[in-house]
């Protein structure tokens, strides 16, 4: 990119950003003057978009930290894996409404009812919609690193933190970037529930604006909120996700030189040519270098202490820390058990007998949406992964569509489908489809793009075509990614039930019977904690058993049988 062109684009971008910030400031003044906690005046949309973006960013940074720590720990330690993965399966299966009571009570009480507590609760709820997918991506990246690379590093004495920085962290970046796109989209997906936490707990944002406009039947203002959201999504795709995708391509495994590169992004060249960005990058690089050097020094000092006379003191300190953690876990378990006993001390509600039937109805919708998703995403991923030009043209469109939350479009979907054959059942499956398919697609694309180009060229030179090429080249790359995408897609689908089976529109409730419908009724209508806990427990049990005895075993077999280094 020529410097003059770079400066011109930078200037235009700066003008657009300045105009947006000024509009946000004006919208802030209008919102503060409004008597209602959430205004539906279109003039406040830039300000609300800014507020929502800040919540999403805070939740994403928490999710990124959690994913790197949790996913790496589960991937590198078989002992921790047996504990951490079942916990992750359970956490991803709990819908965002399931975290409502604990999150709201904890943060609102901690901040004594101030707005900061509600903001923290909202950020935490968005975090629960982003973190699990990213953690699974890191876990898959770590567990599928070719063994000979680790053995080669250890032969040169590279271990501990240095091995993580040189091998496992770079190996996690491509999958982490792809999964970040989907996780960020999932955060938009659940933005409305996270900003409309309950009666009296409404936060200014795009989600609450769209929810308020839809409940009042203001279709034009709902579409204005969707338009603002689409503008934010497109800007993020052009200036953040596409450059990050090109940068992540530098960390793909290639075993021979000239392996190709990711399709170019003009925004990537813009960031790389920006003096301000390069100065900030150098500053962060120095900070992180010093931080990691300090960690390496601490690790070396700890090993020397363990080998010396202070080893007993460290062992005692570790023992005290374990006792404290155990005591905390026991306290939390006792308090939780006491709360459950209090909740279930009363007779069970009559509606609880409908939970098995609700699970069956929801499972059928999820199965239909999953099969439709798999039918088009896997062939599409293989085609995009093998054709750079097609990937460059189509992927930006797919990333933009994935980042547009279908929940924002749900009032429009309901408006067109509610009175037609199939009604809410069809609308629910369509919404589930839009929420599940991107997990499968981007995980599969990441798997195909991870195939070393020299391996593809070797396969072509040996005349591998058709099924033999799929068996020897495509399957080893795509099967673990498809299984990871299936686990996270179904987890996202179970979460999406809470918005696909129960929607408020024009002052009335449109619903499709299922476990999500029963949970929504318990939260928003009856406030029946017994039904909330029973519905959540039923969902968690079904998803945990499915993941533990089907998907997890399938993934373990895939990792063993489909490896490039076998």
CATH for 236: 1.10.3720.10
Same domain, 312 and 370: no
Range of 168-177, 407-416, 519-528 with top mean pLDDT: 168-177
Check whether residue 313 and residue 423 sit in a common domain: no
Q: In this predicted structure, what is the pLDDT of residue 200?
A: 56
Instruction: Work out whether the CA dihedral 490, 89, 175, 402 comes out positive or negative.
Output: positive
Domain membership of residue 315 as a residue range: 308-343
User: Is pLDDT of 165 > 80?
Assistant: no
Same domain, 445 and 494: yes
* Pair (268, 320) in one structural domain: no
pLDDT number for residue 4 = 42
Residue 258 pLDDT > 60:
no
What are the start-end ranges of the H helices in 274-354? 275-307, 311-343
Residues 187 and 266 in one domain: yes
The 10 Å CB-count burial string (b at 16+, else e) for 39-55 is bbebebbbbbbbbbeeb
More confident residue, 485 or 284: 485
The alpha-carbon radius of gyration of the chain (Å, integer) is 25
Same domain, 376 and 243: yes
Averaged pLDDT, 182-210: 75
Regarding whether 239 and 114 lie in a shared domain, the answer is yes
Q: Could you tell me if 135 and 169 are in contact, meaning their C-beta atoms sit under 8 angstroms apart?
A: no
Number of structural domains the chain divides into? 2
| Token representation of residue 241 | 């996700």
Model confidence at 372, pLDDT cuts 50, 70, 90, reads very high
Phi/psi class of residue 252: alpha, beta or left (left: φ > 0; alpha: ψ in -120 to 50)? beta
For the chain, give the percent of residues with pLDDT over 90. 6
Yes or no: say if 232 and 53 are a contact pair by the CB < 8 Å rule. Answer: yes
Same-domain status, 364 and 339: no
Predicted confidence band of residue 28 (pLDDT cuts 50, 70, 90)? low
Are 545 and 489 part of one and the same domain?
yes
Task: Read off the pLDDT band of 2 (50, 70, 90).
Answer: very low
Does 1 have pLDDT greater than 50?
no
Least confident piece of the model among 42-46, 67-71, 146-150, 350-354 = 146-150
pLDDT reading at 561 higher than 80: no
Mean pLDDT of 470-499: 80
Decide if 290 is inside a domain: no
Q: Residue 479 pLDDT > 70, yes or no?
A: yes
Does residue 422 share a domain with residue 312? no
Q: CA 456 to CA 392: how far, in whole Å?
A: 19
Tens digits of per-residue pLDDT, 425-464? 888 888 888 878 888 888 888 788 777 777 777 777 877 7
For residue 16, what are the β-bridge partners? none
Whether the Cβ atoms of residue 266 and residue 5 lie closer than 8 Å to each other: no
Q: Tell me the average pLDDT across 159-182.
A: 81
In a domain, 181, yes or no: yes
pLDDT tens digits for 261-316?
A: 555 666 666 776 666 666 776 776 777 667 666 766 666 665 665 555 455 555 66
Instruction: Indicate the range of 239-253, 275-289, 399-413, 500-514 predicted with least confidence.
Output: 399-413
């Amino acid at each position: 990119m020529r410097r003059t062109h770079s400066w011109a684009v930078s200037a235009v971008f700066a003008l657009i950003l300045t105009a947006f910030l000024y509009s946000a400031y004006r919208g802030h003044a209008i919102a503060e003057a409004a008597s209602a906690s959430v205004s539906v005046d279109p003039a406040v949309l830039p300000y609300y978009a800014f507020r929502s973006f800040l919540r999403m960013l805070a939740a994403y940074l928490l999710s990124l930290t959690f994913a790197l720590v949790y996913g790496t720990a589960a991937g590198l330690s078989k002992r921790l894996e047996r504990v951490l993965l079942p916990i992750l399966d359970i956490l991803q299966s709990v819908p965002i409404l399931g975290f409502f009571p604990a999150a709201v009570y904890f943060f609102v009480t901690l901040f004594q009812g101030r707005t900061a507590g509600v903001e923290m609760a909202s950020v935490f709820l968005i975090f629960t919609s982003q973190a699990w997918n990213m953690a699974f991506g890191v876990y898959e990246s770590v567990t599928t690193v070719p063994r000979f690379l680790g053995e080669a590093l250890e032969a040169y004495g590279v271990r501990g933190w240095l091995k993580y920085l040189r091998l496992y962290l770079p190996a996690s970046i491509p999958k982490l970037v792809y999964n970040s796109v989907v996780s960020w989209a999932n955060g938009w997906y659940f933005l409305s529930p996270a900003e409309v936490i309950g009666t009296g707990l409404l936060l200014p944002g795009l989600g609450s604006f769209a929810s308020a406009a839809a409940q009042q039947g203001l279709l034009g203002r709902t579409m204005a909120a969707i338009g603002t959201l689409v503008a934010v999504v497109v800007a993020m795709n052009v200036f953040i996700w596409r450059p990050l995708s090109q940068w992540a391509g530098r960390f793909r495994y290639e075993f021979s030189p000239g392996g190709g590169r990711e399709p170019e992004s003009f925004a990537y060249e813009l960031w790389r040519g920006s003096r301000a960005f390069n100065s900030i990058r150098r500053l962060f690089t120095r900070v992180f270098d010093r931080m990691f050097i300090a960690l390496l020094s601490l690790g070396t000092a700890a090993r020397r202490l363990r080998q010396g006379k202070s080893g007993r003191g460290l062992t005692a300190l570790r023992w005290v820390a374990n006792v404290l953690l155990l005591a905390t876990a026991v306290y939390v378990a006792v308090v939780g058990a006491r709360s459950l006993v209090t909740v279930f001390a009363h007779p069970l509600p009559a509606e609880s007998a409908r939970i098995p039937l609700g699970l069956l109805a929801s499972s059928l919708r999820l199965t239909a949406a999953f099969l439709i998703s798999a039918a088009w995403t896997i062939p599409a991923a293989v085609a995009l992964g093998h054709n750079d030009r097609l990937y460059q043209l189509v992927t930006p469109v797919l990333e933009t569509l994935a980042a547009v939350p279908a929940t924002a479009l749900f009032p429009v979907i309901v408006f067109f489908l509610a009175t037609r054959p199939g009604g809410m059942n069809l609308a629910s499956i369509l919404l589930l489809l839009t929420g599940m398919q991107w997990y499968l697609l981007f995980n599969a694309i990441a798997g195909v793009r991870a195939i070393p180009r020299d391996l593809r060229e070797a396969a072509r030179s040996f005349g591998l075509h058709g099924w033999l090429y799929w068996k020897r080249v495509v399957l080893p790359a795509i099967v673990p990614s498809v299984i990871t995408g299936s686990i996270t897609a179904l987890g996202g689908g179970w979460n999406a039930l809470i918005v696909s089976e129960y929607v408020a529109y024009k002052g009335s409730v449109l619903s499709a019977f299922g476990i999500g419908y029963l949970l929504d009724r318990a939260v928003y209508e009856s406030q029946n904690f017994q039904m909330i806990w029973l519905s959540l427990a039923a969902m968690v049990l079904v998803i945990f058993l499915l993941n533990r005895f089907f998907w997890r075993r399938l993934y373990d077999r895939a990792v063993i049988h489909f490896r490039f280094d076998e």
